[in-house]
Amino acid sequence: MNCLSPSILSADFSRLGEQIRELDEAGAQYVHIDVMDGMFVPSISFGLPVIRSIRPCTDRIFDVHLMIEEPGRYIEDFVGAGADLITVHAESCKHLDRTIASIKERGILAGVALNPATPLQTVEYVLEKVDMVLIMTVNPGFGGQKFIPYTLQKVRDLKKMIDARGLKTDIEVDGGLLLVGQLVVALAGKGKVNVLRPELVVIHLGNAVFKALEREVVGTQNHILRRHRDRAAVLRTQQVVGREHQDT
């Protein structure tokens, strides 16, 4: 099953809440939130106040991608702001295992991201602990980059690693994809690439998604988006139950 997780990085921030509600109405079950600190990656995006302010706009899963140095310092803050899934870069964590544990202890989903040249062996020993692995198919930090071809093999190899261990870990691909996005799904195996962000399937990355909301193009995405609403509802329910269990 393939899911779409639109990134708000290319949204019109003067009407961000409205555009998120439009994504919600279109059926998107994830909202991808790229947080950049200007250190781990060259760009600076936004942080906790923005996430906190848009949380009331939707009950969709907030898929928070932390492109920041030592993200373990801020896990509790991002959970408090409304994150449902936090993905950290293996390259930015001095103690990756500890950071993953910190995320899971707070009752939400944990993901690990790998830059294009980072080997899969980096996550080999924590694979059982994470809910998702994000494969960067461009170098992080900027939009409009070209897809890096060798990352396609990396997705295949990750799928083999997951299958060999009998895991149900999601795979997310991020960056530079046009129609190649569907090829990634086909090559990685049906049912294993579970999060495909729409900006990776249409041109100009996130820009195309939010422009599409203002045109009829979004109609071509809706039948894919709506198929996966149930999965999002199940995940949200599991997270709420998990939090209630922790509270008791």
Active site members: 34, 174
CA distance 202 to 236: 27
Question: Could you give the residue ranges of the DSSP H alpha helices within the chain?
Answer: 16-26, 48-54, 75-81, 96-105, 151-164, 180-188, 206-212, 219-226, 229-247
64 Cβ contact partners less than 8 Å away, ≥ 6 residues apart: 33, 35, 51, 78, 83, 84, 85, 86, 87
Identify the three-state secondary structure at position 69: coil
Question: Is 115 within 8 Å of 91 (Cβ atoms)?
Answer: yes
Residue 199 phi/psi, 5° resolution?
-65, -10
28 Cβ contact partners less than 8 Å away, ≥ 6 residues apart: 4, 5, 6, 60, 198, 225
Of 151, 214, 196, 146, residue with least CA distance to 6: 196
Of 26, 31, 25, 29, residue with least CA distance to 6: 31
